């Protein structure tokens, strides 16, 4: 299995994605597709450890890791950076590629996008996997809350132009190499990669706009918890690092009570990037979850009666 980077033009803008297991088939029908959605300031690279794990062990599903607008190599100057717009972008990419039904895996911001995708396009979502996901409570790190403050659109570019963001990313990489940070090394490297992406102005602008769409000075402003009952019939797995400093692990426990059928998997030594801390375990869990759960058969028509019954 060799992962390859691809691009498509959607509405005149470039959207980049990484594809793995392209020769996978499911009998005579469409291949089973798993979509891996990264978090804020991230890219498809955050899924590299998982893809490498599948490289070693094999994979019988098509894996797609798209890069959201303003992230990675996808276009990003201006535009709508709301969860709904990101979900629309996923739908458009999958439609262009001819994939009608997918398992959606979302990390951090990508978890919020995955939930929004499931709400907007239930007929396309067969399973849902939330990894240290946003949108499940108010709690979030002070740094992300600070990025939502007035003036951040001026302060952060000034820090970037002065080279301070780059220096910060370098310091995180150096810290990750020190033995004393052994347990946190993976999280530090991933955080450094995310911070380094903000030295590009298009990425920085998208970061500020995205943060403000979902986070305020008092924490996360967008919540999907009141709609989790709509996941009834949708196989759902929640994966979290117990030492997550960005989004509290308590969000995972609460979400698991709101989705009674959810499968909860906690990674004891992991931080905000459990899929990077233990990629082999994560890949094995994802494979087992897909193998042991029947794909959902939902549609828009099934949502109305559920919403009305909660009225």
Map out the domains of the chain with their CATH numbers.
4-138+224-303 (3.40.50.1820)
pLDDT (0 to 100) of residue 165: 67
pLDDT (0 to 100) of residue 76: 72
Q: What is the pLDDT of residues 171-209, one digit of tens each?
A: 656 766 666 555 677 887 888 888 888 888 889 999 999
Alpha-carbon distances, residue 239 vs 41, 154, 242, 253, 263 (angstroms) = 20, 35, 10, 10, 8
pTM of the model: 0.93
- Spell out, as residue ranges, where the chain has pLDDT lower than 70: 1, 22-29, 77-78, 159, 162, 164-165, 167-169, 171-173, 175-183, 311
Q: Is the CB of residue 90 less than 8 Å from the CB of residue 57?
A: no
pLDDT (0 to 100) of residue 57: 85
pLDDT (0 to 100) of residue 172: 58
Q: Where are the beta strands (DSSP E) in the chain?
A: 4-10, 13-20, 33-37, 62-66, 102-107, 125-131, 215-216, 219-220, 236-241, 263-267
Q: Is the CB of residue 104 less than 8 Å from the CB of residue 114?
A: yes
pLDDT (0 to 100) of residue 80: 86
Dihedral sign, Cα of residue 142, residue 211, residue 152, residue 154: positive
Q: Return d(Cα 13, Cα 235) in angstroms, integer.
A: 33
pLDDT (0 to 100) of residue 177: 67
Q: What is the pLDDT of residues 21-71, one digit of tens each?
A: 866 655 556 779 999 999 999 999 999 999 999 988 888 899 999 999 999
Closest CA to 222 of 245, 247, 205, 241: 247
- List residues with catalytic annotation: 108, 244, 272
């Amino acid at each position: 299995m060799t992962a390859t980077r691809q691009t498509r033009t959607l509405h005149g803008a470039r959207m980049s994605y990484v594809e793995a297991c392209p020769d996978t088939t499911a009998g005579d029908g469409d291949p089973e597709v798993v979509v891996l959605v990264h978090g804020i300031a991230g890219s498809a690279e955050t899924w590299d450890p998982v893809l490498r794990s599948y490289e070693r062990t094999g994979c019988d599903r098509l894996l797609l890791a798209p890069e959201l607008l303003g992230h990675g190599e996808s276009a990003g100057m201006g535009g709508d950076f709301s969860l709904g717009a990101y979900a629309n972008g996923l739908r458009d990419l999958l439609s262009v590629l001819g994939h009608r039904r997918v398992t959606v895996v979302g990390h951090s911001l990508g978890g919020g996008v995955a939930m929004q995708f499931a709400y907007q396009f239930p007929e396309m979502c067969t399973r849902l996997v939330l990894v240290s996901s946003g949108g499940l409570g108010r709690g979030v790190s002070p740094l992300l809350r600070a990025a939502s403050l007035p003036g951040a659109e001026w302060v952060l570019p000034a820090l970037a132009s002065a080279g301070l963001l780059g220096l910060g990313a370098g310091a995180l990489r150096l810290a990750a190499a020190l033995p004393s940070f052994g347990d946190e090394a993976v999280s530090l490297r991933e955080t450094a990669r995310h911070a380094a992406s903000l030295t590009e102005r298009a990425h920085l602008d998208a970061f500020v706009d995205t943060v403000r769409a979902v986070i305020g000075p008092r924490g996360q402003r967008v919540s999907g918890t009141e709609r989790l009952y709509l996941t009834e019939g949708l196989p759902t797995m929640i994966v979290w690092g117990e030492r997550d400093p960005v989004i509290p692990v308590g969000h995972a426990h609460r979400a698991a009570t709101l989705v009674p059928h959810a499968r909860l998997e906690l990674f004891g030594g992991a931080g905000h990037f459990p899929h990077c801390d233990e990629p082999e375990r994560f890949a094995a869990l994802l494979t087992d979850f897909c193998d042991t759960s029947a794909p959902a058969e939902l549609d828009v028509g099934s949502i109305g009666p559920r919403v009305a019954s909660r009225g």
